A and B are shown apart, each in its own frame.
Chain A
Amino acid sequence: MQLSVWTYEGPPHVGAMRVATAMKGLHYVLHAPQGDTYADLLFTMIERRNHRPPVTYTTFEARDLGKDTAQLFQDAAMDAIERFNPEAIIVGASCTAELIQDDPGGLTEAMDLPCPAIPLELPSYQRKENWGAAETFYQIVRHLADSSVTPGPREDRKARANILGPTALGFRHRDDLIEVRKILEQLDVEVNLVAPLNARPSDIARIGNADFNIVLYPEIADEAARWLERTFKQPRVRSIPFGVSATRAFISEVAELVGADPTPALGDTNSRLPWWSRSVDSTYLTGKRVFIFGDATHAVAAARIARDELGFEVCGLGCYNREFARDVREAAKDHGVEPLITDDHLEVEEAIAKAAPEMVLGTQMERHIAKRLGLPCAVISSPVHVQDFPARHSPQMGFEGANVIFDTWVHPLVMGLEEHLLTMFREDFEFSDEAGASHHAAHSPKMAATPQTVPEEELPPEPEVSELDSPLWTSEAEKELKKIPFFVRGKAKRNTEAFAAEFGRGEINLDTLYDAKAHYAR
């Protein structure tokens, strides 16, 4: 048993729901008790979907258990097919139904249904959401792909690609897809199929018609793409276009694969990140210490962008999905940090507090942790919150995605010039040290006043750094510490105390403070 107060991933059947909900003409018959329908609201509320997820829950009760829950399943499957007339169904069990071992796959096989029924085995007590999505997508592709469909010779036709991975409830999948389509258009590549998002089972049948596959989200589509590589000999593009360099690599890789000229795509004049990053105001971004946590793919990409394209320093890197931990371990080595592979958010919080970063890039949970620690934060990965589904176009992929990333990551920080101005005017009597940066109230340090009515999730955070509770500080050093701008004061305090502990300084006086500053100077 594992004690959990919050989880990064839902159970695997929620992953299956993300695939089913993304698709059209597919229905999921889920053997599940009352209450499992809670998962519908993830899609209708967080993602604001205007349709119910295409899921029929058998809704068995305690009194059914001694009787015929199998019949209940078969009735529900039949009703669903009559009512929704799907091109195919996927069938499976949620955690409770798994225990009663009705075997939905076997039951549907015995029913002689008018459409294909794809059985899913999603072990709820071993696996989680992303794995469930990947397995579901793989099973759908395996069952529905028509092996007689092949692209045939190229000759004069355009090259054709499948874009694999976008699902419902994905972090910016909708917008990433638009950017990737743009790139392919510039390279004169035709899109054979996008899946699971908006694909019908009948579309999946002609998946073999593409010359190659593009996997946007390995967490979801890697398994299927590897099978397609083996079965249909469709090569897979390795680069994922997060950030400017990876977008360039992606363009070059696709261009080489299809024999196209990459120059027009590479010369996209809307790519602004490089100049924005080189402009002098960005100097202050240099070496900002960022802590990164998310799903492996987004976290690794974020670390690369942070270091190579924004000039940050990665001071922590981790992921919650063990299946892809190897990628994170490799990247962490490259960045010279210890990889953090865990699905325990308390452990993540501890690691963030210890690393004392200047910014956090994470999931909605890290945003919450950062708020509590008084740190700026940007969201880079699912699990996501309703505010991570913006109304505007807001991709992460392609050059436009890099533009969006630049803005999203830089705005929470105190702006370069403003940083100097704050320091200059700190002594002015009009100046309130606690006011923080003018452009981002949400990340300004805590005020004494508590907001009057706060929704539960906005409850005032705990004080980030307690007042100088350590008896070690001399009053002179304390005063000096208060002269340090608030946005680095917490770090200065922690560093000084760590320094004092390490070098056995009994008390922290002015010398200790400045010795520590020299020690940690970079």
Chain B
Amino acid sequence: MNVATTLTGCDAPKTDTATRTVLRERGQREVFCGLTGIIWLHRKMQDAFFLVVGSRTCAHLLQSAAGVMIFAEPRFATAIMEERDLAGMVDAQDELDRVVQRLLDRRPDIKTLFLVGSCPSEVIKLDLAKAAERLGVQHMPKVRILNYSGSGIETTFTQGEDACLAALVPEMPAQDANAPKQLLMVGALPDIVEDQFLRLFSQLGIENVGILPARNARDLPAVGSNTRYILAQPFLSDTAMALEDRGATRIDALFPFGVEGTSDWLRAIGREFGVDTTQVEAVIAPGRERAKRAIEHSRAALEGKRISFLPDSQLEVPLARFLHTELGMEPIEVGTPYLHRSHCAGDLALLPEITRISEGQHVDNQLDRVRQDKPDLTVCGLGLANPLEAEGLTTKWAIELVFSPIHGFDQAGDLAELFARPMRRRDRLEV
């Protein structure tokens, strides 16, 4: 089934998602844990500090995954638990109080402090919710103290953001029952992309817009039964549930990648807010045209090429949809750590039926399939990319898809280029 030419967002023919078979796997996973989200979350929320309560491994993970050196004092750190914390020689809660006090003394600019649970803190059942409450009493209103878990035993990579945002939802002020209808955009986006979307919302005539997470964690938008939220990221299932508990309703759409994803996403918002269709089309037309032109540059490298995704960020299904319907790529396997069937229903329905969808991971079995499939491009984590290149496969590091601005019309060309570049490079090199 190729819908690339006839696609009109949600109206396009669909594979029945409910009956689609998904290969579920259990085994070694080659993915980051949820702590990794701190790397982009701390840059997004500029008044927030993330304190991981964990081990040396957690600290080492953060510095390795960030791949950058500390250029100033960053707004994250690890409280490394030591033997005496575990042996009960000191009360871990007292120790945490001491560390937090020291931190807040040194960084008076911190307005929100996240205590972030890790594998070891979860295993020893160190109660960070209790700690946050106790410390909150001491430090409110100057500093609000929240907690969530980014542990690998509970969260995979981007689920760390989900856990963090879900922890913010109860802090959002309650909306008046008769408040005007409000749009809430959910998911951390680079500021430049966020601003582009805000301009488009404004052109659509939607002025009452909230963003989660807000750039300042203290400026949380209100939420209530008049809130209509739209996800900008496909990995926010807990946040979505928490918002619905507060009365908000989800706007269903494709995720905003490429020409069609972004159009569908904006059209869905327009429909929900009763914006006239012609106005919606007029607003999105310039962006659509620019995006179409921009992705054309990569078409030659990508069209007709076969691609496999190894599970990483949960962005796999929407990105495969973009590459398939807009650039004519053939997805062989789309692996995702966790598949949210209803959030991803639209994107999933547009993937060819022969595409193998896999959830979870058994890395060795999956690599066997990759070797057998011999895709033209394999999207995978940093631990696997060079070994696969050495076997003759062309790869794209998945993490770049999380760290780069890829949403919306004006990033569509960049997004296509991220996939096209390794292919072009392979063709160019003569050594």
Contact = CB atoms under 8 A, between A and B. Distances in A.
A and B part of one assembly: yes
Interface stretch (B5-13, B190-198, B225-233, B380-388): B380-388
B63 A6 contact: yes
Contacts of A462: 72
B382 A35 contact: no
B344 to A, nearest CB: 21
A62 B28 contact: no
A345 B77 CA distance: 13
Contacts of B120: 95-96, 99
B420 to A, nearest CB: 20
A72 to B, nearest CB: 10
B81 A1 contact: yes
A318 interface: no
Nearest to A364: B69
B381 A1 contact: no
B185 to A, nearest CB: 25
A83 B365 CA distance: 10
B107 to A, nearest CB: 11
B156 A36 contact: no
Nearest to A60: B153
A36 B82 contact: no
Contacts of A33: 33, 119, 151-153
Contacts of A461: 71
Contacts of A4: 56, 59, 77-80
Contacts of A45: 67, 382-383, 385-386
A96 B381 contact: no
Q: State the majority secondary structure of interface residues on A.
A: mixed
B294 to A, nearest CB: 19
B387 to A, nearest CB: 5
Contacts of A61: 153-154
A35 B73 contact: no
Interface stretch (A124-132, A262-270, A333-341): A124-132
Given A34-B29, A95-B56, A124-B57, A3 B152 contact: no
Contacts of A76: 28
Contacts of A39: 60, 64
A7 B60 contact: yes
A48 B27 CA distance: 26
Given A5-B74, A96-B153, A123-B83, A37 B30 contact: yes
Contacts of A372: 71
Given A2-B82, A59-B27, A99-B120, A38 B56 contact: no
Contact of B79 (A3, A9, A13, A65): A3
Interface residues of A, number: 62
Contact of B119 (A1, A79, A96): A96
B32 interface: yes
Interface residues of B, number: 65
B78 to A, nearest CB: 5
A496 B70 CA distance: 31
A65 B123 CA distance: 8
Contacts of A52: 383-384, 387
A40 interface: yes
Given A35-B119, A95-B120, A124-B56, A1 B71 contact: no
A321 B34 CA distance: 30
Interface string A55-99: 011111110010000000000100100010000000000111001
A44 B382 contact: yes
Given A33-B153, A35-B31, A365-B69, A10 B384 contact: no
Given A44-B382, A44-B383, A94-B57, A3 B103 contact: yes
Interface stretch (B92-100, B252-260, B280-288): B92-100
A6 B385 CA distance: 26
Nearest to A14: B60
Contacts of B153: 33-34, 60-62, 65, 96
A35 B383 contact: no
B28 A51 contact: no
Nearest to B98: A1
A15 to B, nearest CB: 11
Q: Max chain A CB contacts within 10 Å: which of B29, B34, B77?
A: B29
B71 A368 contact: yes
Given A368-B69, A457-B71, A125 B61 contact: no
Contacts of B80: 1-4
Q: Max chain B CB contacts within 10 Å: which of A9, A50, A96, A126?
A: A96
Nearest to B367: A52
Contact of A35 (B35, B67, B70, B99): B35
Contact of A1 (B64, B99, B122, B382): B99
B152 A95 contact: no
B386 A50 contact: yes
Nearest to B56: A11
Contact of A44 (B61, B364, B386): B386
Given A34-B153, A126-B83, A7 B382 contact: no
Interface in B109-150: 119-120, 122-124
A428 to B, nearest CB: 35
Contacts of B60: 7, 10-11, 14, 38-39
Contacts of A124: 55-57
Q: Max chain B CB contacts within 10 Å: which of A38, A56, A459?
A: A38
A1 B79 contact: yes
B33 A35 contact: yes
Contact of B55 (A6, A40, A125): A125
A7 B55 contact: no
Given A57-B28, A62-B153, A76-B28, A456 B71 contact: yes
Contacts of B31: 34-35, 37
For the complex of A and B, the 10 pairs showing the least CB-CB separation, nearest first, are: A35-B33, A35-B152, A40-B383, A50-B390, A96-B119, A41-B382, A95-B55, A10-B60, A34-B152, A62-B153
21 contacts: A1-B79, A1-B80, A1-B85, A1-B95, A5-B78, A7-B60, A11-B60, A37-B28, A37-B30, A37-B383, A38-B61, A38-B64, A41-B381, A45-B67, A45-B385, A52-B383, A96-B152, A125-B86, A368-B69, A456-B71, A461-B71
Given A7-B63, A11-B57, A457-B69, 13 more contacts: A3-B78, A5-B73, A38-B36, A39-B64, A40-B382, A50-B386, A79-B364, A95-B119, A96-B152, A99-B120, A365-B69, A368-B69, A455-B68
Interface of B: 27-36, 53, 55-57, 59-61, 63-65, 67-74, 76-83, 85-86, 92, 95-96, 98-99, 102-103, 119-120, 122-124, 151-154, 156, 364, 381-387, 389-390
Interface of A: 1-7, 9-11, 13-14, 33-42, 44-45, 48-52, 56-62, 65, 76, 79, 83, 94-96, 99-100, 123-126, 128, 345, 364-365, 368, 372, 385, 455-457, 459, 461-462
